Structure formats: C-alpha cells, structure tokens
Structure 1
C-alpha cells in the first residue's frame, strides 16, 4: 500500500533517512515498500539493499515535479523499468528543461497521476489518491478501477513536519513565516499503519486491491555482487589478457632488463590474480587513458594503492617500483578486499578536462559519467540556514554558525533553542548534489540501469549516487584527478627548452635519486615550490630527519600526518631513524611487522599487517579497519564490531596489556593516512620537482608562479626566484606576456598579476605587439582601446618605464588625452587628428610611492619590504645564526610568510609562524597561548620578534615571548 515514500534524498523536502524508513516499515510489519523520491533515484540502491536484508520487497521509482507542481509518480516493474525512468529523467535534466505534463509510453513502468490532474489525462491512466482525498471519492465511486492509494510518506511525526517546513523555507530562501502552503507537504503525509489506511478506505476496498495488485507487478531483482564496469577492452576477455600480458612483459624488459627472474615471477603471479578477479579490462582502460595523455605530451602520476602493482609499473600506469620498496600487490587487489580497487591518476590541472573528454568520447556517453558526492548539512552550516529562516540578525547567526564559538544552551533564547534542536536533527541530511574529486564510472551496460544523469558546469554528466553506493553496486571507479604540481613540472620542462635549448628527461627517476646535488638540496630543505615537500612543516621534518634519499622522503610523506605528530610517534620515528638501536617494539611480534619503520606504524599497510597478524582479524576485517581509518567507510556499526573483535582477540592472545597502546597508534591514522605506495608515488613527483629546482631554479620558479595553487603566495615564489639569482621586472608594455616569462636570468611578471586589468586589454596589447613593439605612450594609446582606469593601472605599475617616461608625467598626459577623446569622439571617425602634445614639469615618483602602487595593484611590492620600515630597530639577529644561540633570548625582524593555527591539548589556541629575515632567510616561530593573547598577529607585514631559541633534532625555532608589528613609511601622496 506504500507507493509514494520520500526519503531525505528528496532534497530539502524529505525528513526520513533510508535506515529510519526501513526501521519504521519493520515496526509496522510492512512487507512491500516503494521509494519514490522527488526527481531522483539517489537513495534507490541503499533502499534496495536494506530491504533485501530485512525481507522487505523493494519497489523503486520517482515522483516527478516541476518546482512545487506534482506531475506524476513512476514506479519500475523491474530493472528495465528502472532504466526507462532514469533515461526519461536524464533527457530533461541534461537539457535543463521542465518535465512534460505527461509521460511517454513506457513498457516496464507504472505511471500514476494525482487526483487533481484527473481531468487532464486519459481514462486509461492510473489515478493516485491520498487519505486527504477520501471525501472526494464519492464522485468517482461508479468506476474506481484506475484508482490506487498514493499516500505520500514525508515525515513520521509532528516534529518531522516542522523539520520539513524548515527545509522547504531553506530551499525557497525565505522566512518560515513567508513559506507558501503550495511549497510544503500536507500535515497528513505520515507513515500510517496498514490497518489505519485500510480503515480509512474501508468504503473503497477496490482502491486497496488495485494498490496491492500494482505492487505485485513489481519485481526489482538486483544483484549487487557482479562487477558492473566495462568487461572487455578489446573484443573478449581472452584477448584482453593476451594484450595485458604482452605489454606487461614488454614493460618488464624496459623496467628491469631481460634477465630479472623475480620481476617476471611477480608479473606472472599478478596476471593470474587479475584474470581470476576479472580486472583485465580495468587495467587496460587505465593504460589506454594514460597512453592518450602521453600522445598529447601530458604528464601523469599514478598513485594510491595501485602503485603496489608491478603490472601497473610495467605498463606505465605508475612510476613506483614495488619490488625495491617491498610493496605487496594484495594491498591493491585481493579476494578479501571489502571494496573494489581503483587507480588514482593525477594529471595537470589544465589538462584533466581534455582527458575526461577523451574518456567520454572513447567509451560512449551512454556508458560514462562522473561520480557524485552529496554535500550534507553540517551542524554549524545548518545553524546558519535555520537562523536565516527564523529571521535572526546576522550577528547572532554568525555567532551560532562560528565553529570556534562555544554555545551556551542556557543563554539561548527561544529561537536559539529551536535552531540548535532542528540543526542537530537535519545534521547529515543531504543538501545538494556535487562532483566527486575525480571518480569516473565506465559501465558495461547503459548507465540508465543504475542512475539518472545530471548536468554540471563543465558539461560532463554526473550520476546520482556517491562512491559508497558505487562500490555497493559493483563499480570500480577510475580516479582521474588534477593537481598543480604536474603543471609546474611540465611547464618548467618547456621553459627550460625555450630559455636554454636543453631537452630535459624528466622521467630519469633513478638518476635523480642518485644525484649528489639533489641529495644536498633535500638535506638543506631547499624545497620551496617542490610538490608536496614545500610547506614549512614538511621542510622542518626533512631537516629533522636529515633526509637525503628517496626512502626517507617516502616515510616523511606519511609520518607528517597530524595524528602521528600528536601521538608522539613522529618524534619517536625521528629519534629511531637517527639511532636505530632505540627502535622499540611494543610486543615481540611487532619486530617482524614493523622493523622497517623502527616499530612505528607509518603506512596503511602497517595497520593491515598489525590487525591481521597481531590481532587476528581476517584480511577482510583488516581492510575495513584500514578504510575506516582513511575516512572511507560509512558503517559505524560494522566498524565498531571490528573494534570490539580487535580487543577481544588481543585479550584471548594475552596481549591485553598492550592492546590499548596498539589501538591508540592505529587511531592516529584516523581521517588521514597514506598507503606506502601512495607516499612513494608522491615522492617520485617530488624528485622530479627537486631535479628542476636544483638544475634549473629560475625556469622552475617561473613555472610555479604561472601555475598558481602552491602552498605560498606568489610574492614568496618571486622572492625565492630572486634568492636563486633572478632579476625581477614588473610588468612591461613591450616585454610581458599574459603569464610570467623568463629571458636569460630576467623574469618579467605577467599581466595576469595586475588586479582589475581586463582580459580584453591584455589581448589587445599582445595582438598589437605581434605587429611591432610600442614606441611611445601615444603609439600605445592609438593602438589599444583602453579606458582611463585601465591605462592608469598600467602606468602606476610602471609598464611604460622602459620607454623613458615618468609615471606622474604619464598620469597627467593620460587624463589630458582622455578629455581630448571626449571632445573629438564624433569627428575622430571623419578626420585624421594630429597628436596633441602637452608639456609637463618633470615629476618623479619616489621609491615609497612605487611600493604603495605595487602593493595596491600587484598585491605585493617588488622592493625589499624591510627597506620600507619606518624607524627600524638597529639590533637584530639573522636566521642563519640561530643555531649559535640555542637556549638564549634573541631579537629578530621577520616578514610574515604564513601562519598555521592549532590548539593545545587543553583546547587553547596557538600558532606556528613562518617568516623571512632581512637577508631573505626563513625561520620558524612558536606562539603559545599566553603569547598569542598578549601579542596577537595583526595581519601581514614585518614584526619585531623576541624569544628563546629552541632546538629539536638540529632544527631551530623561536619560542616567542614578545612581538609587535612594525609600521612602514607613509605614502607621501597621502600626507
């Protein structure tokens, strides 16, 4: 009798989770249930899976609406009907058109129209009625053969109804008091018992009979176990395996030479498992995607657990040698994994879309889509939305929504109590559909059998479920991701060739690892701009480890995790790295498991090994544990069972005394952890960056500047380029391009760095320069149709300096020309007017004025910021000398680079600072809570800092005891 249930996937409408819907059905002894969310099938597979688990017959469909207008409800008779519904929905969603007032003729779909639309449809159409329609049924009692019970289920009680109304107000972006009745459900849309529904329609038993007959027609049988990915790459699975075998063994020769028996044996073993688990096509499709990228000259990084595979290494998906790193294939694919494996492949941020477009064209738009994710209401974001709905002042909303504020329930007024109450109620409700970071699904059969498709801004359709549902269904996703680091590398290689005519082999990874100059570069933590190893925390860790080799860098990529640092295991690892005799194993078994990492769990593989070999969990259970620690497992109940079994097994094995400490170390992985293969893949890219930074530092820094998105602001990459010997030039009318460029050792900043400079003006400048360089300001004004505001920006940043002009002189002339243009606008088309020349007094701008212009227009000054100080202190230390004053008080001037906020164990706020001194050298500061409170940061600028020099593993930092921000010279134009 339940043909029209809504879950919370009816976005900002439904109030019932799939789990709660099933629990209620069980409590009411309901044996057949239909989920028909509004315009979506997002919850369908979670619903089907839970129904099957609880012996409830699932029926799936969609309630179609245009805005608030209910059009019809469609339910699928079978999987083919589900495909028809999804295909129909996709047609209108992808073109962003409204749904038609009537459906097409379906073969396997039952369509029901609301009673309000009975006069609009033919006599053969089914008409759905709710209990609120009962009073009207007497008009149709002579023929109820097409009538069924279409009682919506939207909430479970009065509180649910209130929650629904709040969600509708959020959706409409209006005050609750202004919510229209037509925008909300009727208060009767409850999950009534079967007995109540039968009693209500006791005078119309035909309707109940019709409804049951409809439900009996439906049989949605879905098998979650088979792989749903495209099954073959060539024409058959046999041919796939032959092709994979050929390119894998060809790759063995390329990677290891002709006579490496161990490599060939491992390839053979992996190929056997790949064949058994039917993953041949998955490997070949990934290989095909990368082959296309290479044909276009694009770089990639294959990472994640896929780098455990020697086959992946041999066919060029990854650049990580699993033999030399002792990586085991079973971490990637094994029969006990609780989820399908997937390759993570990174491409440059500006090339990824082309790769995705290739996948859609190569494998067919009917079979390919991007994976979705749902953005849910979080507690504080829910508070903000509800605050707006209740009409609270912005200041009160900001206070409630601030994640740092402590909410005192006792001090909240009536509205505040309601916001907190309903905010917690809607927490984790899906709010809107978004795109997964890089997941792509490639299906064997049309995707309509699983989902409707939705449009996204870049034109690639996305499905209606997330990665967890995709895994449940049987999809192994392809992760096609993007990052800026590869953009740095590729552009740097291109710039090196243009600037020095040198062809760089960026894939000579082993040579990079063995290079003494690169080793010295790493050891000196000169890594600014280098992928993944440039942050202050990472540079500090590299220094503490005295890292100079690939293996140590791989470990550093993982032990920098916040959990490891806070648990004290990072410090323990560093100590043991410097003195292996200090390695400590909490139990004798751990020595066999963690000898490589001195008894510290560093990688996800360590968690699996400890859980399986130490705590006796199965490989499948260990994998669940690993996924949960990575934040990729959603069943809390299942996870808790495994936790309980972990401690129970440890007790039975006699490890009860150490179990808690082992578990504490495992917990440090929570939310952020790497597989060893993933860390190794990142380290390969780090070494490529290091090579370029070591041998071609200027070209490399230009590439970093042009690709943006690094850890630091552009200003500091420019500073680093200057440290490496570059001459930095502001944008120049005859030299600069859209992006920054280098000529010899001179770096010309690009037009892109000028705030508010219009793209069309840049295009005009570059277009005119293709013909000839600008010879004068008049020449520029004739050729480039730029307004006074745009010309003023160019003048103030000094773009005409190399034509012999003073900025102030040009500003006067620009204003004069602008006035002249206004006078001669009409006649200028008819007469050739001579240039009007004006004589102006010599007006030179000062260094301080130039600095202020640069700060305003570029966002930073190209001058030494310390030279702008007003009355700077006379005595200060330099960063390179801090090691001479360990334990002593020092005073130093520092230009703030970046801040990292954190909290102490007591929850108090503190900071780690990163500065450059007057000589351009970097140093670290620590600001404990009392120092923060007494001497707070006041934005970017130069600070006079006093504190005690602290040392840990030869790395010095200043524990700040006093600090003040120093004033800079005033702009003389403002005096």
Structure 2
C-alpha cells in the first residue's frame, strides 16, 4: 500500500517565469510577461496559445519585443511538461503483491515533521491514471483532521461534565448556531472559516443546515459566482426562476440556482432526455474535467434540450452556459451534505456553543504550531468579549472579578 504520486505541470505563467530565470533575463521582465497571461479556471488552465488570442496586450508585446518572443517561444515548448512530483491529497493504491511489481516507488520530496522527527512517505511514481492502466485499484481516503478535533472535544466534555455527545445525535436545527454564523463567528469552524466565506455567510444569514450545505458547495472555484444570486433569491430581492418547468422539481429548494453537480445531471435527464447510462458519462466528463468529452456533451445536451425539452436552440445554449462554471469545480450533493454536517457539528450542539474553550483548546493542540494566528484571532473574537482568557496552555472561562489574576481549565 502507498499513497499515489501526482505531477505538477508547467503552466503558462510558471513556464514563462522559469524560462526567464533559466535564460538569465531580469525577473521583472518575466513577471511582466506572466501577468499579461489571463488566469484560467481550475481544471481548464490558460495556455500560451489561448493567451495570444485573448489578451491583446500580451499579443502586442510578443510581436514587438524580441526578448519577450524568445521567452514565450521557449515557454510554449515546455508548457504541459511535468515540473515536480507531489503527493495526491487522498489517493491510495493497494496491490495483491509487492507494489514494485506494478509501479516504481519513491519517497515524497517534502515529508512531515512530527514530534521533532521528519518522516517521508512512500509514494508511487505513476500518477492515478497510470496506476489504473497498470491494473491496480485507486482508493480515495480523505483524512479530515476536524473529525479528530470533534471526537477529542466530545471526550473532553465527557470527562469534565459527564455528558455523552456524538456526531449522530447533534441536532441540525439549532437557531443559536445560525445566529453565530450570521454574525461572522466562524473561526476554527470546518469549511466555514476564512474571510470570503465569512462575508458570504453574513450576507446569507443561514436559517437551516440546508443553507450551510449550499455554501459548502458554492464556495468553490467553479460555481462561486452563484453565491450572490442564491442569497438574493433567498431573501426575496430576486425572484426564483427556472429555465425549464421540469427544473422546478429539483431546484425548488435552491430557488432555481444550480448548486450541486447533481443539479446538472438531473437537468440532463429531465430536460435533455439523457438515460442514466448517458448521464454517467456526462458526470465523468464534468468530474474529471475532460475538455474533449465536454465538447461532445455540449452538442448532445443542446440537441437533447431541443428535441426532448422543446427548447429553442438559443435557450438551450443559454442553459448550457450555466453548466460551464461547474467544469472548474463542483460538489455533489452527498459530499456537500457530509461536509455541512461536520461543519454544523462544530456549532450546532448547544453544549458545543456553550463550551467554545474546550473546542478551541483541542483545535489548537492539534496544529503544528499550538498557538497559531488563526487561534489567536478566534480567541480575540470569542474569548475576550466573554471574559475568557486564552493562553497557549489553556483557553479558559474566567469570572469577571478574577479574569486578570488566573486561568482555570475548562
């Protein structure tokens, strides 16, 4: 058993900077050229060839400056080649015999430090596609540190209070939780922290676990532009609309906004007349970000909407355009709901919302730096207004009369 290796490739901007450095040109020149290349989207990176067509500024510099032309021509030859190897986030391969019967192995290049000791994982030198071609199954085992934090928090509460808590028994409709999130109190909360997500939650003012699931799904490189549309429709500032009457059956709870990858699949089935077998190919094309297959699906989808859904070609094309952001990155509903449940469990239990210091103490003790900047912000926003002192050893509730004298374990 080993973790799967993955290869980082030389993309347009990076290739330009690497070539500039290798050929001895000034860094400022490479940086200037690279910044003229438009950004791509996740799964569909920008290429130098496309940049020449899409950026008039880049095209003009390339045509008029010989040094720029030298750099760009060389970078274009290197574009797409492997630059480095790293570890796949979740991919694990298991073989019936020695792994070296199927794939070359190596130690990962970075390693991890634990208890002062640097350890290096054994990884495959084949990527996930080559692993499958070699006849081995690839498993995705995603480690979520927050599950350990939750379990340790429950154990701490059990020892201190004698109260048994479990993830499965935590209610998902606690109004106090949604008020906390609406106020932007998201620090140390799985999937919901960070300035961008926090601002979106404050705009959204969630009222149900469903809203949390939606935010988990939408706050991704692909469908992120749909966030403000969802918020506006939820609060009645915009009317819920559906591009086809059948879409109301599965988009009613999201006010007609495409949120999950499942929404694309159901649209393909109900509106474009896909069979379940056909829609699985569509799912793979979207999920694996296969441009050639998406071009084929574009034609099939539009023709299906015209024939099966009775739509005009113009409207069918407009519907397809709503799918395009999901080619960057889209969550399926089950994934979003699972993450939403974990995110909610950090806040939804009345015991948890009333015992933030236990949660914070466990969270900070599991980080490589026990008193990280994130923990400091959390302490500043939560501990101090509640007369609670936070120190590297023990964030603690303190009575107001004694808050300047000592800390007590909580």
Q: Which has the higher contact order (CA 8 A, sep 6+)?
A: 2
Asked whether 1:394 is paired with 2:27, we answer: yes
Change (3 A) 1:641 1:717: same
Q: Equivalent residue for 1:703? A: 362
The 3 A distance-change label for structure 1 pair 471 and 698 is same
1:479 pairs with one of 119, 125, 140: 140
Does the C-alpha gap of structure 1 residues 392 and 651 become closer, same or farther in structure 2, counting only changes over 3 Å? same
Contact persistence 2:182–2:205 (CA under 8 A): yes
Report matched runs for 1:34-49 at 5 Å: none
- 1:470 corresponds to 2:131: yes
User: In the alignment, what sits opposite 1:311?
Assistant: none
Partner of 2:197: 538
Q: Work out the CA distance in 2 between the residues paired with 1:380 and 1:578.
A: 41
Q: Counterpart of 2:13? A: 380
C-alpha change, 1:573 and 1:711, in structure 2 (3 Å) is farther
Q: Is the 8 A contact 1:704 1:717 kept in 2?
A: no
For 1:680, the equivalent position in structure 2 comes to 337
SS in 1 for 2:241: coil
- What residue number does 2:150 align with? 489
Q: Partners of 1:711 and 1:660 in 2: how far apart?
A: 48
Question: Which residue matches 2:114?
Answer: none
1:722 aligns to 2:384 (yes or no): yes
Deviation at 1:728, TM superposition (A): 4.0
1:523 Cα shift? 4.7
- TM-score of the aligned structures, taking structure 1 as reference length: 0.34
Q: Which has a greater percent of helix?
A: 2
Partner of 1:441: 93
In structure 2, how many angstroms separate the alpha carbons of the residues matched to 1:403 and 1:410? Answer: 14
What is the rounded CA distance, in whole Å, between the counterparts of 1:383 and 1:525 in structure 2?
Answer: 40
Contact 2:209 2:340 in 1 (8 A): yes
Per the alignment, do residues 611 and 693 of structure 1 end up closer, same or farther by CA in structure 2, a change over 3 Å counting?
A: same
- Does structure 2 conserve the Cα–Cα contact (< 8 Å) formed by 1:533 and 1:539? yes
Q: How does 1:151-162 map to 2 (within 5 A)?
A: none
The CA deviation at 1:648 is 2.4
Instruction: Indicate which of 741, 747, 753 corresponds to 2:394.
Output: 741
2:149 & 2:170 partners in 1: Cα distance? 20
1:35-434 correspondence to structure 2 within 5 Å: 368-402=1-35, 407=58, 408-414=61-67, 416-434=68-86
CA deviations 1:532-571 (Å, max 9, x no partner) are 12233333333444323222221222233454443xx434
CA distance in 2, matches of 1:562, 1:711: 27
382 and 565 in structure 1: CA distance in 2 versus 1, 3 angstrom threshold: closer
**2:207 counterpart residue number:** 548
Partner of 1:671: 328
* Structure 2 contact 3–123 (Cα < 8 Å) conserved: yes
User: CA deviation digits over 1:856-904, x for unaligned, max 9?
Assistant: xxxxxxxxxxxxxxxxxxxxxxxxxxxxxxxxxxxxxxxxxxxxxxxxx
Aligned match of 1:857: none
> In the aligned structure 1, how far is the partner of 2:145 from the partner of 2:264?
31
Q: CA separation of 1:714/1:543 partners in 2, compared to 1, >3 Å: closer, same or farther?
A: closer
Contact 1:698 1:725 in 2 (8 A): no
Partner of 2:255: 598
1:560–1:698 distance in 2 versus 1, CA, 3 Å: same
> Which of 441, 449, 460 is the aligned partner of 2:121?
460
For residue 446 of structure 1, report the CA deviation from its aligned partner: 3.9
**Deviation string for 1:880-933 (max 9, x for gaps)?**
xxxxxxxxxxxxxxxxxxxxxxxxxxxxxxxxxxxxxxxxxxxxxxxxxxxxxx
Q: Aligned-pair distance for 1:478?
A: 2.3
Distance 1:723 1:743, change over 3 A: closer
Alpha-carbon spacing, 1:384–1:540, altered in 2? closer, same or farther (3 Å): closer
User: Over aligned residue pairs, what C-alpha RMSD do you find?
Assistant: 3.3
Residue deviations 1:315-373 (CA, integer Å, cap 9, x gap) = xxxxxxxxxxxxxxxxxxxxxxxxxxxxxxxxxxxxxxxxxxxxxxxxxxxxx121111
Q: Match of 1:858?
A: none
Judged with a 3 Å threshold, the aligned counterparts in structure 2 of structure 1 residues 638 and 651 are, in CA distance, closer, same or farther, namely same
More strand by share: 1
In structure 2, distance between residues paired with 1:719 and 1:668: 37
Deviation at 1:602, TM superposition (A): 1.1
Separation in structure 1 between the aligned mates of residue 236 and residue 214 of structure 2, nearest angstrom: 16
Conserved 8 A contact 1:564-1:668: yes
Q: 2:397 and 2:224 mapped to 1: Cα distance?
A: 43
In structure 2, the CA distance between the partners of 1:517 and 1:398, relative to structure 1 (3 Å rule), is closer
CA distance in 2, matches of 1:665, 1:619: 21
Contact 1:383 1:397 survives alignment (8 Å): yes
| Structure 1 contact 534–711 (Cα < 8 Å) conserved | no
State the Cα distance separating 1:659 from its structure 2 match: 0.8
Counterpart CA distance in 2 for 1:393 and 1:613 is 56
Aligned CA distance change for structure 1 residues 573 and 422 (closer, same or farther; 3 Å): same
CA contact (8 A) 1:386 1:419 kept: yes
Where do residues 492-891 of structure 1 align in structure 2 (5 Å cutoff)?
Answer: 492-493=153-154, 495-496=156-157, 501-503=160-162, 505-566=164-225, 569-579=226-236, 582-630=239-287, 632-634=288-290, 636-653=291-308, 654-655=310-311, 656-690=313-347, 691=349, 693-708=352-367, 713-720=374-381, 721-728=383-390, 740-742=393-395, 744-745=397-398
Residues 574 and 432 of structure 1: CA distance in aligned 2, closer, same or farther (over 3 Å): closer
Q: Distance in 2 between matches of 1:493 and 1:615?
A: 48
Whole-Å separation in 2 of the counterparts to 1:697 and 1:650: 51
Pair 1:560–1:434, CA change in 2 (3 A): closer
3-state SS in 1 of match to 2:4: strand
The 2-side partners of 1:438 and 1:561 are apart by 18
| Alignment check: 8 A CA contact 1:698 1:745 kept | no
Gaps of 5+ in 2: 39-56, 112-118, 400-404, 406-410
1:637 deviation in Å?
2.3
Change in CA separation of 1:475 and 1:613 when aligned onto 2, cut-off 3 Å: farther
Cα distance, 1:409 vs structure 2: 1.3
Cα distance change on mapping 1:583 and 1:474 into 2, 3 Å = farther
